[in-house]
Chains A and B, each alone.
Chain A
Amino acid sequence: MKKSEVLNLPSMPLQSPTFPRGPYRFFKRQYMVISYVTDADAIREALPEPLEPEGDTVSVQWLDLPDGEGFGAYSAAAQVIPCTFRGERCNFISQMYVDNTPPLAGGREIWGYPMKFGSAALAVTGDTLTGTLEYATERVAVGTMVYKHDAFRTDYSRERELLARTQVTLKLIPDIDGTPAIAQLVAVKFEDFSVKGAWTGRARLELVPAVNCPLADLPVHKVVGGLHMVTDMTLPYGKVMHDYLAK
């Protein structure tokens, strides 16, 4: 392969790039978001400067992604910390677990989504919307939510505000000698999103301490509530908000 062709590759490996070029369109992307009150000191410790905490409520989210262009069909779970960057309200993605290489590698390498391999599932089981997460064969999280108790709602302005909010990731890529090559806060904003349905209701959340999947490091003091939402959206490239290596 010629050098000029090498520079045009979207990703490794050369013979079958793990992920194509973006942006990436998602159809029927389904969320269950369980918000809960946690420890304010633990939030401050988990949030990279110069991000500032916004209150003491965080969320654990489950995502079912049946049709992610370039990525395939997969599931994910994430921990999200609301925060501010120079006064702007943002969501910091602190942990994320997926069961599929293209979004795992693409997520880490393009934007710095903090992805590890974990087996998340989001399913309707009898009367319960149920999210589970297994890491290294152990159950580390279970979220449950009532199923569509507030049907017929048509005002999705709060959900649209949530989807429009800037997501922030901490992208860290080492150089070949182990020193940091990239250390940035990256901003990502969803585009062309539509809310196909959204429901709120009672929810419960159990987090199990596990060293390599430490969702429970932000302990559940009180569950605020659940949000169930189905969307179509586009995940575009991002922007560097803050460069830790800039002189």
Chain B
Amino acid sequence: MKAEQILRLPSMPAASPSYPMGPYRFINREFMIVTYETDPELLRQVVPEPLEPNPESHVLYEWIRMPDSSGFGDYTESGVVIPCFFNGEPINFTAQMYLDDEPPISAGREIWGFPKKYAHPKLEVCSDTLTGTLHYAGQLVAMGTMAYKHQVAPGGVEAQAKGMTRTSCNLKIIPDVDGSPKICQLVGYNLTDITVKGVWLSPARLHLIPHVNAPAADLPIKKIVGGKHFISDLTLPHGRVLFDYVKDQAP
């Protein structure tokens, strides 16, 4: 294999790259998000500067079913998202993510710095209950339940699609071959071409079990704020560097 072919490879391994070049298109991507209030001091500890956590100390615990994802396949994800501020602008920080498919784990970590680990999440309708579970290393670590389509969300699909254009960010860390930080950045991205097919609000409950390698319960549940269920098509494009911990001056 020649050097110019190597520089055109989208990812490792050269013999069969884990993921193709982006952007990536998702069809019928189904979300269940349970919003809860947590401890403000614990929240401050897990949000990297220069991000500021939201003053209400809200945390979003999510399940996402992705049956048709270009380049990635059919998989399910679960994780923790923290609404934050960056230079005064609202931004969603992805703190933890667990999924059952290697290409989006590798692409997620290596391109955008999504903090992804391999685990077994599930999102399904069980009789009257929209049910999310997450098993990590054989143990249940999260269970979310939501009543099924009790109320169409105010503003409907248009308001939900607009809300989903909000900037999201990740902390991307890639070590150098000697262990020193090669890439250490806050990375921002915005979803594009969003079509929301339905959005519902319903009562919800969430149960988080302490686990060292999937520590969602480190942000304890003080109060459930509510549950949201929606289905959308969307595109995940490449992103941009918001802050570089190696290069940018600390204020």
Contacts and interface: CB of A to CB of B under 8 A. Distances in A.
B7 A183 contact: yes
B2 to A, nearest CB: 5
Interface in B1-52: 1-3, 6-7, 9-16, 18, 21-22, 45-50
A9 B171 CA distance: 11
A213 B16 contact: yes
Q: Which of B1, B116, B246 has most A Cβ within 10 Å?
A: B1
7 nearest CB pairs, A to B: A13-B115, A114-B13, A117-B102, A101-B118, A12-B115, A238-B177, A114-B12
Contacts of A173: 110, 174, 182-183
Q: What's the interface size class on A, roughly?
A: 35 or more
Q: Which of B6, B183, B246 has most A Cβ within 10 Å?
A: B6
30 contacts: A1-B45, A1-B48, A1-B49, A6-B171, A7-B184, A9-B184, A12-B113, A13-B97, A14-B46, A16-B215, A48-B6, A95-B13, A109-B110, A109-B174, A110-B175, A114-B13, A116-B16, A174-B11, A174-B110, A176-B111, A176-B239, A176-B240, A176-B241, A178-B111, A180-B7, A181-B174, A182-B182, A183-B7, A213-B16, A244-B6
B206 interface: no
Contacts of A115: 12
Interface residues of B, number: 65
Given A112-B12, A184-B177, 15 more contacts: A7-B246, A9-B184, A13-B117, A18-B117, A94-B15, A108-B12, A109-B109, A114-B12, A116-B18, A170-B14, A174-B110, A237-B179, A238-B177, A240-B177, A245-B7
A12 B171 contact: yes
B143 interface: no
Contacts, number: 182
B185 to A, nearest CB: 7
A186 B47 CA distance: 33
A214 interface: yes
A96 B16 CA distance: 11
B147 to A, nearest CB: 30
A22 B176 CA distance: 12
B181 interface: yes
A38 interface: no
A59 B238 CA distance: 37
A119 B225 CA distance: 40
Interface string B183-220: 11101000000000000000000000000111100100
Interface string A210-247: 01111001000000000000000000011110001100
Given A104-B102, A108-B106, A214 B48 contact: no
B173 interface: yes
Nearest to B117: A101
A94 B115 contact: no
Contact of B213 (A16, A46, A116, A244): A16
A181 B7 CA distance: 10
B60 interface: no
B250 interface: yes
Contacts of A79: 15
B11 A172 contact: yes
B173 A178 contact: no
Interface in A81-136: 94-96, 100-101, 104-105, 108-112, 114-117
A108 B102 CA distance: 12
Contacts of A174: 10-11, 110-111
